[in-house]
Structure 1
Amino acid sequence: MRIRPPRPLVVDTLVALAMMLAAVRLGRQSVTQGWPELDASAYVLLALAHLPVVLRRRAPLMVFAAVQLAGVAYISLGYWPVVSAFGSMLALYTVASVYSTRIAVGCAAMMTAKWMYAGAISDNLPMTLVVNQALLFSLVLVWSGTLARRSGELARQLRAEQAERARREVAAERGRIARELHDVVAHHMSVISVQAGLARFVLDSDAATVRGALGTIEDTSGEALEELRRILRVLREDDPGGAASAAPMPTLARLDDLVERVRGGGVPVELSIQGVVRPLAPGVELCAYRVVQEALTNVLKHTHHAAAQVRLHYRQQELTVTVTDNGTGNADGLIPARVLAGGGHGLIGMRERAKLYGGTISVGPRAEGGFAVRLTLPTSATGARWGDERTR
């Protein structure tokens, strides 16, 4: 069961009652200290000098003024000044904890003047002692209240920064999820759409092609569902396995499967790998895989009669991924304007992924025709296996 903290008004009420009780008990010793005994007027003034602090958080300046006036009246009637001091000291601390130092110093000067007034009208209080005590207490109370105010401001600023950081993290996570969903859905649905159109076109004339297209649709949709389940397992908060129970992210080792799917969609793809083929950081592998996937998806969606080339070049400190095609663009023979402008979730996702891992990416038409995507990522090798340049 969660225990709720007490409300400030309840706390201040208890504090006010405790100070009132302490003042009454101290006031009973007035006679032994050489001061008049408390009577009904003294008790009323003591109540007015302490009980208003119940509202000190709601109206600090008004409460300070009220308890100061009650204290001045109490002192003017010749009673022991110390007995009425508790409320005014707490009120001064509250003012310093809420308002600027200038206002707090002004209120401290008022309380000091009250104490000096008490020393001036009484023969029992040495003025030097009164002034020293008034200055000391005022300094300590203003300093303590100022520290409390600054601590509160820092705490509020910290909470605001934490809330803003959490908001940015949520936005970044939503963006990551959106990119993952786009990468999964856009690519697989593009393959399925092409294959479905092919199957419908040859439905009555080429049963073997129809069966092949349906098989590709079945495989592609199954893989899409598996990747969607993986993403949903990561997102599901009540999954006891969490992210650890999710299937592994796609890596460059799965490029062969990706290329085969695109080939099945009617686009000839050549995959070539150069240099030292080695395991890379998971994020780097996923970034490179998604960029290739998005580039090939764009070839499927935006070009006609195209052939594509995917080249991976492993260097000592970086990985270069190049995807080119010789397509003629859309039905008008042009590359879509939004692609040239860098719009769309896919191309934005490419750039964001590259930036996240410290890489660079260039996307645009080639002088000799077609389109090119070139990604360069810094790498950290955890192992290596040497291989010659190969083409599949």
Structure 2
Amino acid sequence: MPELQALRPRSASVALAVGFAVAGCLVGTFYHPEPWRPFGPGAYLLTLLIALPLALREKWASGVLVVTAAGFAGYLLLGHQPSLNFWCPAVAFVSVCARERRGRVVRGAVLLAAVIALSGTCGRLPWPVTVVQALIVPAVAGAVGLTQRRLAQRNAELRRLTVLLDEQQRQEARRAVLDERFRIARELHDTISQHMTIVTLQTGLAQYTFHSDPAAAHQALGVAATAGRDTLDDLRRLLVVLRTYDLGGATGGQGPSAREDPSAPIPDDLLAGIDRVPALAERLEAAGLRVAVHFSGTRRPLHPGIELCAYRVVQEALTNVVKHSTAGAADVTVDYLDQELRVTVVDEGAPDAAPGALANTPGSGHGLIGMRERAKIWHGSLTAEARPGGGFQVRLRIPLGEEGASPAPEKDALRGRAQVQDRDRDRDRDSGRP
């Protein structure tokens, strides 16, 4: 069926062919001056033979030109007067110029010029008129056909570009969905991981000391309950954002659009900032980790997205210390420089552990990947490595100049996600971090 539909002539071509056939027959019927032959049945058949093949000129342009030229030549040689069928070979040649290769176009031009010259000769026109007519008719028909060819090529290119644009739009839509999924995954991981680590450790301690030291078990359960309430509060804040706020936009309809500021999805009053790091350190002390927080430089408010990035990196780094290290203390240093923010988290490691002893600690690798993605969004960098004397160090650097004032497109951060995962997996194998 598709093959038959492809061979079916277009209605416009059919109408043109029928129009030339009817017009040629009418002119021959009512106009046959002397000394031309009377317009009889043979003339009608030849007129139909010349005109009707034009219905198929879009499928077989060269063949239609040959048929119409041969029919018109026979019509003239039999002594019939030239009529409107004079234009049928010219119309067929237009299709040849629009669709066929250069060689066929040249041969078709020669054939059409010969037929037009024969028409002028049979019509007893002066030879200069015959020559000019034989040159002008193929030239005009060829120009029209070449114009049609260029239009067809441009339309084909436009269709190709339209399909390509549509595919790019679908890819952008899929990428936007993935961006939001990764962003929400980071928020959930960074929000829940630290609190649930405390809950897990404290409930395990309570279970262990339930009979031997009820007071310690009671205290551990209290710490776990506080961490659980903090988890619920953070989840409520995140749900508020997901329900009421465009994750890619700015607050209050002001500021950059969703696509211009993809890394500041949360209103200012819902963002965790650097000023919350001391409170984070106090909570972790309940889990047995002493955290010293140091600030240097001129403390000043930064972009909410940068504040959130720094806080989440500190939170994830300290959570990893609690989960994957036996270190009893860690240091957090926040340096406000003129053009850069530096955040360093260092743990002292286990007193009796050799360097690299944590390499056997299993982990998913999502924590370091999320931290590096956050840093890359703000044109920053993050390094996480074991210290030569034991312990582990995480260092975040974010530029605060004009380049750091606006986020990089998050798709740039996610484009290298596979490479980051591979690099982190190799580094974590040596450092013992998840």
Sort the TM-score into its range (normalised by shorter chain): 0.7 to 0.9
Structure 1 match to 2:152: 148
| Cα distance in 2 for residues equivalent to 1:224 and 1:17 | 70
Q: Decide which of 42, 46, 55 is 2:51's aligned counterpart.
A: 46
The answer to whether structure 1 residue 18 and structure 2 residue 22 are counterparts is no
Q: 1:14 to 1:219 in 2, by over 3 A?
A: same
| Cα distance in 2 for residues equivalent to 1:175 and 1:222 | 24
1:305-320 equivalent positions in 2, closer than 5 A: 305-320=327-342
| Cα distance in 2 for residues equivalent to 1:165 and 1:314 | 41
Q: 1:90 to 1:262 in 2, by over 3 A?
A: farther
Per the alignment, in what secondary structure is the counterpart of residue 310 of structure 1? Answer: strand
Structure 1 match to 2:298: 276
The answer to whether structure 1 residue 128 and structure 2 residue 125 are counterparts is no
Q: 1:85 to 1:269 in 2, by over 3 A?
A: farther
Q: 1:156 to 1:105 in 2, by over 3 A?
A: same
In the TM superposition, residue 46 of structure 1 has moved relative to its aligned partner by 1.5
Q: 1:222 to 1:367 in 2, by over 3 A?
A: same
Contiguous gaps of at least 5 residues in structure 1: 1-7, 96-102, 382-392
Q: 1:166 to 1:185 in 2, by over 3 A?
A: same
Q: 1:116 to 1:281 in 2, by over 3 A?
A: same
The answer to whether structure 1 residue 189 and structure 2 residue 210 are counterparts is no
Is the contact between residue 9 and residue 56 of structure 2 (CA under 8 Å) also seen in structure 1? Answer: no
Per the alignment, in what secondary structure is the counterpart of residue 357 of structure 2? Answer: coil
- Size of the aligned set, in residue pairs, is 354
Is the contact between residue 113 and residue 135 of structure 2 (CA under 8 Å) also seen in structure 1? Answer: yes
| Cα distance in 2 for residues equivalent to 1:209 and 1:301 | 17
- The aligned amino acid for 1:188 is I
1:1-392 equivalent positions in 2, closer than 5 A: 13-24=10-21, 26-27=23-24, 28-29=26-27, 39-49=44-54, 51-53=55-57, 56=58, 60=59, 63-78=60-75, 80=83, 81-85=85-89, 88-89=92-93, 91-92=95-96, 94-95=98-99, 103-122=100-119, 123=121, 124=123, 126-153=130-157, 155-157=159-161, 159-160=163-164, 163-164=167-168, 166-167=170-171, 170-171=174-175, 173-175=177-179, 177-185=181-189, 187-203=191-207, 204=210, 205=214, 206-228=217-239, 230-231=241-242, 248-328=270-350, 334-336=357-359, 344-380=365-401
Q: How big is the alpha-carbon RMSD for the aligned residues of Structure 1 and Structure 2?
A: 4.1
| Cα distance in 2 for residues equivalent to 1:358 and 1:169 | 24
| Segment drifting more, 304-313 vs 163-172 | 163-172
Q: Percent identity?
A: 25
| Cα distance in 1 for residues equivalent to 2:340 and 2:247 | 35
TM-score, length basis structure 1: 0.73
Per the alignment, in what secondary structure is the counterpart of residue 18 of structure 1? Answer: helix
| Cα distance in 1 for residues equivalent to 2:318 and 2:174 | 30
Contiguous gaps of at least 5 residues in structure 2: 76-81, 124-128, 259-263, 403-434
In the TM superposition, residue 118 of structure 1 has moved relative to its aligned partner by 0.9
| Cα distance in 1 for residues equivalent to 2:365 and 2:231 | 23
| Cα distance in 2 for residues equivalent to 1:232 and 1:48 | 67
Q: 1:200 to 1:236 in 2, by over 3 A?
A: same
Per the alignment, in what secondary structure is the counterpart of residue 197 of structure 1? Answer: helix
Per the alignment, in what secondary structure is the counterpart of residue 196 of structure 1? Answer: helix
Per the alignment, in what secondary structure is the counterpart of residue 344 of structure 2? Answer: strand
Structure number with bigger Rg: 2
| Cα distance in 1 for residues equivalent to 2:368 and 2:265 | 30
Per the alignment, in what secondary structure is the counterpart of residue 385 of structure 2? Answer: strand
- The aligned amino acid for 2:202 is L
| Cα distance in 2 for residues equivalent to 1:12 and 1:283 | 63
TM-score, length basis structure 2: 0.67
In the TM superposition, residue 364 of structure 1 has moved relative to its aligned partner by 0.7
Is the contact between residue 324 and residue 361 of structure 2 (CA under 8 Å) also seen in structure 1? Answer: no
Q: 1:285 to 1:189 in 2, by over 3 A?
A: closer
| Cα distance in 2 for residues equivalent to 1:316 and 1:261 | 31
Structure 1 match to 2:406: none
